[in-house]
A and B are shown apart, each in its own frame.
Chain A
């Protein structure tokens, strides 16, 4: 199976920039999708196809993907951004893989 590695937690002060990484072998060759999940809620797509931002997602959210690391960046972090974030790829071998998730804490 294709393994995706995320840091368990990231902490950031309000107004600062949060960076959440997703590591995988040659992940830069795949399309990476990011989901935001707030407590008690279903996940929502935050970023699709590496850097696409669905309607309703603030411009503060951006994504990049190269080499062995994909990155979700949240600028000017707000208290409402506090959530769990998951990366996901589709791979012909394992079909769908999720990262273990990163808990974003806004200090």
Chain B
């Protein structure tokens, strides 16, 4: 069974930093592209970032580019999102998602999410 367990969320002041982690199990982590998707309170889904299976490429949404860094450790089956210069509008539940490719990328498995609140 595919399992994705996010951690690292919490309350942080504007301008601060936070590091989210996602522990993967139940599948061969190194074979899959992985992503983060977020959802602000009461709002829709917003794609944040995607990283290749080999970490050979990463993509970022324009709203986070230059502030967030996505990385992975295939030896530990772990995905990490380093978030710097946080803003109030980054407040959201952050989901880790497996992102298989077969002509298109989509999100076939999701974690339960971790809540990030950016507030003074």
Contact = CB atoms under 8 A, between A and B. Distances in A.
B106 A45 contact: yes
Given A48-B106, A89-B104, A98 B45 contact: yes
Given A31-B103, A100-B44, A54 B95 contact: no
Nearest to B112: A42
A30 interface: yes
Interface string B84-115: 00000000000100000011111110111100
A96 B105 CA distance: 8
A88 B37 CA distance: 12
B5 to A, nearest CB: 12
B44 to A, nearest CB: 4
B59 interface: yes
Interface size on A, as a range, is: 20 to 34
Contacts of A42: 95, 110-113
Interface string A43-81: 111001100001000000000000000000000000000
B108 A90 contact: no
A60 B102 CA distance: 24
Contacts of B103: 31, 49
Interface residues of B, number: 21
User: What does DSSP make chain A's interface, helix, strand, loop or mixed?
Assistant: strand
B88 to A, nearest CB: 21
B21 interface: no
Contacts of B73: none
A39 to B, nearest CB: 11
Given A31-B104, A95-B59, A98-B44, A44 B50 contact: no
Given A90-B105, A101-B45, 4 more contacts: A31-B103, A42-B95, A84-B44, A96-B47
26 contacts: A1-B62, A30-B104, A33-B104, A33-B107, A35-B45, A35-B107, A42-B95, A42-B111, A42-B113, A44-B110, A45-B107, A49-B103, A54-B108, A84-B44, A88-B45, A89-B104, A90-B104, A90-B105, A95-B47, A95-B61, A96-B35, A98-B46, A98-B47, A99-B44, A100-B44, A101-B45
